[in-house]
Structure 1
Amino acid sequence: MDWLWKALGGKSGRNQKRSQAIVDRAQAATDELGQLSDAELAQRARDVTAGSALQDPAEFLAILGIATKRTLGIEPFAVQSQATLRLLEGDVVHMATGEGKTLVGAMAATGYALMGKSVHAITVNDYLAHRDAEWNRPLVEFFGLTVASITEAMDATARREAYACDIVYGPVNEIGFDVLRDQLITSRDQAVQHGADVAIVDEADSVLVDEALVPLVLAGAEPGTAPTGQITQVVRTLVEKRDFTIDSDGRNAFLTDDGAHRVEKALGIASLFDDEHVGTTLVQVNLALHARALLIRDVHYIVRDGKVQLIDASKGRVADLQRWPDGIQAAVEAKEGLVVTDGGRILDSLTLQALMGRYPLVCGMTGTAVEATDQLRQFYGLRVSVIERNRELRRFDEADRIYATAEDKQRAIVAEIAALRETGRPVLVGTHDVAESEALADALTELGIETTVLNAKNDAEEARIIAEAGDIGRVTVSTQMAGRGTDIRLGGADEADRDQAVALGGLAVIGTGRHKSSRLDNQLRGRTGRQGDPGSSVFFVSLEDDVVVSGGEGENHTFTPDASGRIDSKRAQQFVDHCQRVTEGQLLEIHAQTWKYNKLISDQRTIIDERRSALLDTPRAWEELSARSPERAAQLAELPQHVVEQAARDIMLYHLDRGWSDHLALLDDVRESIHLRAIARETPLDEFHRIAVTEFKTLAQEAVDQAVATFESVLIDGSGAHLDDAGLARPSATWTYMVGDNPLAESGNSLINGIGAMFR
């Protein structure tokens, strides 16, 4: 692994040597410390973590290891203790699949809590949050600490109790939504959480990189808008290339002149571009066109229980809480003939990257951190520590099998699966989307091969399906990220036929195409070969695959296939590798540019947060309003002080929150049209910053001016300020969702750009 240490920098290598030396000392101290009673061991842990720091890391690791064996019945491997130490020093640890990351996270969380730090253990879903919290409970409680989990179904009271614990396990989206909801409180006791000192992120590459730019949105319900039935029907009749075109990236669709005339005639209007239509009818036509041309059922979304549900392409699962911005969501619902759901005024939004920035210390673990080293360092200042496997890897990673056409590739995949199935060897096939998984399953069924399909349509069965994927003769066809957090055990969930599965060569993993990031390829490969098990992986690639077409644009190569369509050429392999590197570079650039847009908004939110905290926790609102309007303050002199202070607080917070909501809406509009600045030889990012800063300067002052006007006019009595009666009611209902939002493609449409393939 020397090449890894060089890639990660000399300091990481030195840290690893130091960590290994500490683990060796910990193992030497285990026998002596093992003689202590439970109470003595717990006290020794508190002594060695006095002063919010580790006095003796080796002794502490030994104590943790002993406590883990006593409470969980597991004796940590040396590599698990080493990984725990690296987490306690703030790194992202790279540990292969099946190496015991769950235990490492539990030990690190317990260690931080013993140092007096509040800990959020961040997972990717409710199931893992609840599972890991309950599994870790005996270890945590051994030291007199408390642990709880946050799940979607919990109410505010239950969440408040959970967040009061020393260690809180929770899905990243739920923790983010709680942060947003706490931004609406008008009294501090309404808050459900108060942040944490440490975030330990499971599947760190997924949370910190793949989904880093996903905005979590808090909205106040109000009627949604959608293309009318007539517009939807007209757009349905348009013909590609004649009436509209799709750009080379498949991310935007545009009406041609003929198409515009055809729509105008069908709607009975003179021009879509007249003032009366450009901001309404034209917008609805464009939304309907994008829904029809770019968003494909069973690829980008499914329809289940009468609802449109988005598919998270980075995981191949239904994104339960995600929706597109209201216009797009409504357009797809109209396209499918469904009831159009309510829209909402965005009250606040927060990217996962900004959410992580709220923690003083972030660390994490994943099986594919090395490939994300650049992003983790650039955007979070995090180092990656690679932890060696406990047992040597026995998996064989075959070179890609490259084919000229997608049809040739598909035939070869089916033939390979059939051949493996004949031997009884378990097979896991990773596809890119729901439609592909179902088409492949249908092809296998026609050959009489029984197939278990795991995709966004049945992800609720994931744990059960994945648990059996290593059984003899099992063929599992899955979308990309099925089963993260769950090990595939050879011989089935109970490993009853393990020896036979091992003798056959272990689990065979087949990828139906390269992903736009090699990290996603490696995540799929990592499903096999756990803890020294045998296994193999191979990817089938065609020159028609998206990653090859987009990454090789402008390249001119000629390859000669054999009779089966296969291209057995080192040069072809190098070309595919090159195409993937190009797309990886594009993704990193998109992330970097989007981060620059979001960073300013995040900085402005920090200022709003500070202002809000001052209004919540001090009598500043009353003091400022009294100073601006002393006559009105005098009129309220007979009311109790706590009543007038809360009334002033309610007024000031209402206008501050409304101003921030308006500011976000304005910036979204600016981002939609910012590409036009390039036409005027202006730098879009610089111009965005100029507008954002200028507008933000007026936000606070306007909020105060409006608050003064309300203070002078609204009824304030013993029950407080009657804002509702003055038409200044806060939303009667709020709801949360996630949005895929990429403001950077050349068309500049932030609401639509990137949704053709979310996170692709």
Structure 2
Amino acid sequence: MDWFWKALGGKAGRNQKRSKAIVDQAREQQEQLSTLDDAALAQRARDLVEGGEVKDPATFLAALGVASTRTLGLTPFPVQSQAVLRLIEGDVIQMATGEGKTLVGAMAATGFGLMGKRVHSITVNDYLARRDAEWMRPLVEFFGLKVAAVHEELDEAQRREAYAADIIYAPVNEIGFDLLRDRQVTDRSLMVQQHADVALVDEADSVLVDEALVPLVLAGSQPGAAPAGQITDIVRHLREKEHYEMDDDRRNVFLTPKGADRVAGQLGITALYDEEHVGSTLVQVNLALHAKALLIRDVHYLVRDGKVQLIDASRGRVADLQRWPDGLQSAVEAKEGLDVTEGGKILDSITLQALMTRYPMVCGMTGTAVEATDQLRQFYDLGISVIERNRPLQRFDEADRIYATMKEKNRAIIEEIKAIHATGQPVLVGTQDVAESEALAEALEGIEVSVLNAKNDAEEARIIAEAGDLGRVTVSTQMAGRGTDIRLGGADEADHEAVVELGGLAVIGTARHRSSRLDNQLRGRAGRQGDPGLALFFVSLEDDVVVSGGSGEEITAHPDEQGLIQTGRVTEFINHCQRVTEGQLLEIHAQTWKYNKLLADQRVIIDERRDNLLDSERAWEQLAELAPGRAAELADLEHAAKVGAAREIMLFHLDQEWSEHLGLMDDVRESIHLRAIARETPIDEYHRIAVREFKELAQRAVDKSVDTFETVLIDAAGAHLGNLGLARPSATWTYMVSDNPLAGRGNSVISGIGNIFH
């Protein structure tokens, strides 16, 4: 691993060397500390903290280790103690699958708690938040600290109680949604969250990179809008190449001149691009075309119980709370002939990246941090610490098998699975999407296959836990089952030795991902804690990662009669294609962040103004100064009632103007690509509009507040805003927006993905 430390620079290497020395000292002290009773041990740890800092890291680590042994029956390995130390110092640590990240996270969170810091231990789902909080509770409570889990079933009072704990386990979306709801309160007592000092992120690459730019949205009741039925029907009959074209990586779709004329003719208008149609009809046509050509059923979404459900590209499972931006969501619903759901007016939103940057300190754990080094450094200024395995890796990573065509590749995949299964060795197959997983399972006739995909994610933990059993074949989309160990011989490890004799778990990837990090996540399912294992990827020159990454490049290949290509030059070409797609993803991230960053900065200004209104009498002072006559009319009203009414009025209009600003900027972003036609840089034009509009926001909110203050009924109960039709929405709900709906596709959809194994 020396190459890695040289790449990062000397400081990271020195930190690792120092960490190992501290861990060695901690091991020497554990025996002495183990003679203390529980109360004395807990007090010893507390005594090591002064002013929020640890005076003696070695003794502190030793105390945490002894407490873990007593409360959980888990004695940390030296590498786990090293990981705890690196987390406490603010790094993202890379630990291989099965190396005990759950204990490491709990020890680090407990350490932060002893320093007087409140910790949000961030997970990727409800199941892990509840499991880990209960599993690690004895360790946390040993030191007199409180631990709680936040999940979707909690009501407001239960959330408020949970957030008051020292260590809170919660899915990232629940934390974000609670923040958005707290931003709407008109009294501090109504908030559920309390200030947190540290975000300790499990599966850090997923939260901080894969989903970093996913906006969490709080919406209020408002009817949704979809492309008119006539537009959907017209677009449904358009033909590729003739009426519309797509770019090489099939991320964008464009009407041809013939297509535009056809649509205009059937709509009975002169030209689709006339100024009167650009802002309405053209937008609806483009949404319907996007839904038809780019969003594919059972790849990007499912239709279940009469609803469109998005598939989370980074995990291969249904994203229950996720939507596309409302127009696109409605277009897909219209395409599928479903009832168009309410869109809702956006009241507030925040990206996961902006949410993470609110914490004074961020650290995290993952199995694949090295590949995300650029993003973690560029967007969060985070360092990486690679923690060595407790036992040497015994997994064999076989060279990719590269085929000329997808058909030849898929035939070879089936033959390989059957050959391995015949020996009794368990096989885990990582596919790219739901359609592929089902087609593969069907093609493996005569073999009992456990299919884990977005259609049955409720069975996830059980299926993945048994994937290492004798003779088991599990077909899984993407990284389903993260957080659940695959133990050789089944969940109870009854046949562990028999599976070891056969070579451990065999992991097969049906295509390379757009990021090598996702490949390595799949490989990492085999070879936990020194177990043997096999990892093998199949690739074809028709796969999306090759078509997209190698666009415009020629490669001469000489396949054998099975279509297999065995030349180093082609292998290097595949690696090159993946590096290109990784660069594309980083560029998408950087560009999207530029759009989001300005709104995030503006939100900080709104937050400061909101806090000022909530925590002072500023609202009353300002309104009384601007409308002295109305203030005089309220002279007999109790002062607290006047302050409360003024605060309610000003917060309502500030929130309303922010909501309008978000809606406007959403519309601007939808059409900003048209600015390039006028030779303006889209991002510069977007920023210019955002800054101009924001300058007027605060003044508009004040002006409207004065108008309301002068006319609304104000009494001991407060300001009766509903009388003027100014009530806040009667219903709100939260959802996530898929900002990049086509990320992470692996096998090409060009030839019809449902039939790829036939």
- 1:598 corresponding residue in structure 2: 596
Q: Cα deviation per residue 1:494-534 (whole Å; 9 max; x = unaligned)?
A: 00000000000000000011111100000000000000000
- 1:547 corresponding residue in structure 2: 545
Give yes or no for the alignment of 1:755 onto 2:741.
yes
- 1:750 corresponding residue in structure 2: none
- 2:615 corresponding residue in structure 1: 617
Contact 1:79 1:390 in 2 (8 A): yes
Counterparts in 2 of 1:311 and 1:100: CA distance versus 1, 3 Å: same
CA offset at residue 465 of structure 1?
Answer: 0.3
State how far apart, in whole Å, the 2-side matches of 1:142 and 1:329 are: 49
SS in 1 for 2:116: coil
State how far apart, in whole Å, the 2-side matches of 1:431 and 1:195 are: 41
Instruction: Give me the TM-score of the superposition, normalised by structure 1.
Output: 0.96
State how far apart, in whole Å, the 1-side matches of 2:235 and 2:698 are: 44
Identity of aligned residues (%): 73
Amino acid across the alignment from 1:331: A
Counterparts in 2 of 1:323 and 1:673: CA distance versus 1, 3 Å: same
Give yes or no for the alignment of 1:410 onto 2:410.
yes
State how far apart, in whole Å, the 1-side matches of 2:604 and 2:566 are: 56
- 1:669 corresponding residue in structure 2: 667
State how far apart, in whole Å, the 2-side matches of 1:29 and 1:643 are: 61
SS in 1 for 2:161: helix
- 1:194 corresponding residue in structure 2: 194
- 1:526 corresponding residue in structure 2: 524
**Higher mean displacement: 8-17 or 111-120:** 8-17
State how far apart, in whole Å, the 2-side matches of 1:273 and 1:59 are: 71
Q: Cα deviation per residue 1:665-689 (whole Å; 9 max; x = unaligned)?
A: 2222222233333344433322322
Contact 2:544 2:745 in 1 (8 A): no
Contact 1:469 1:475 in 2 (8 A): yes
- 1:395 corresponding residue in structure 2: 395
- 2:751 corresponding residue in structure 1: none
CA offset at residue 279 of structure 1?
Answer: 3.4
State how far apart, in whole Å, the 2-side matches of 1:659 and 1:195 are: 26
CA offset at residue 432 of structure 1?
Answer: 0.6
Q: Cα deviation per residue 1:624-664 (whole Å; 9 max; x = unaligned)?
A: 10111111101011111111101100110011011111111
Unmatched runs of 5 consecutive residues or more in structure 1? 742-753
Correspondence 1:207-606 to 2 at 5 A? 207-274=207-274, 277-445=277-445, 448-606=446-604
- 2:705 corresponding residue in structure 1: 707
Counterparts in 2 of 1:325 and 1:36: CA distance versus 1, 3 Å: same
SS in 2 for 1:66: helix
Contact 1:210 1:759 in 2 (8 A): no
Among 673, 687, 703, the residue aligned to 1:689: 687
- 1:751 corresponding residue in structure 2: none
Contact 2:513 2:744 in 1 (8 A): no
Q: Cα deviation per residue 1:584-621 (whole Å; 9 max; x = unaligned)?
A: 11111221222222221111111100000000111100
Moved over 6 A (4+): none
| Number of residue pairs the alignment of both structures matches | 746
Contact 1:215 1:350 in 2 (8 A): yes
- 1:13 corresponding residue in structure 2: 13
- 2:28 corresponding residue in structure 1: 28
CA offset at residue 456 of structure 1?
Answer: 0.5
- 1:749 corresponding residue in structure 2: none
Amino acid across the alignment from 2:476: S
Counterparts in 2 of 1:682 and 1:517: CA distance versus 1, 3 Å: same
Give yes or no for the alignment of 1:145 onto 2:145.
yes
State how far apart, in whole Å, the 2-side matches of 1:285 and 1:598 are: 26
CA offset at residue 285 of structure 1?
Answer: 2.4
CA offset at residue 270 of structure 1?
Answer: 4.4
Amino acid across the alignment from 1:363: C
Contact 1:454 1:477 in 2 (8 A): yes
CA offset at residue 231 of structure 1?
Answer: 2.6
State how far apart, in whole Å, the 2-side matches of 1:580 and 1:304 are: 34
Contact 1:429 1:478 in 2 (8 A): yes
Amino acid across the alignment from 1:471: D
Counterparts in 2 of 1:368 and 1:249: CA distance versus 1, 3 Å: same
Contact 1:186 1:650 in 2 (8 A): yes
CA offset at residue 202 of structure 1?
Answer: 0.1
Give yes or no for the alignment of 1:177 onto 2:177.
yes
Amino acid across the alignment from 1:139: L
Contact 2:249 2:544 in 1 (8 A): no
CA offset at residue 272 of structure 1?
Answer: 3.6
Counterparts in 2 of 1:331 and 1:675: CA distance versus 1, 3 Å: closer
CA offset at residue 492 of structure 1?
Answer: 0.5
**Higher mean displacement: 261-270 or 523-532:** 261-270
State how far apart, in whole Å, the 1-side matches of 2:190 and 2:535 are: 52
Contact 1:740 1:758 in 2 (8 A): no
Contact 1:245 1:253 in 2 (8 A): yes
CA offset at residue 451 of structure 1?
Answer: 0.9
Root-mean-square deviation (Å): 1.4
- 2:81 corresponding residue in structure 1: 81
**Higher mean displacement: 543-552 or 664-673:** 664-673
State how far apart, in whole Å, the 1-side matches of 2:667 and 2:491 are: 52
Amino acid across the alignment from 1:453: V
Contact 2:433 2:745 in 1 (8 A): no
Counterparts in 2 of 1:165 and 1:601: CA distance versus 1, 3 Å: same
State how far apart, in whole Å, the 2-side matches of 1:759 and 1:88 are: 36
State how far apart, in whole Å, the 2-side matches of 1:29 and 1:238 are: 74
State how far apart, in whole Å, the 1-side matches of 2:592 and 2:231 are: 33
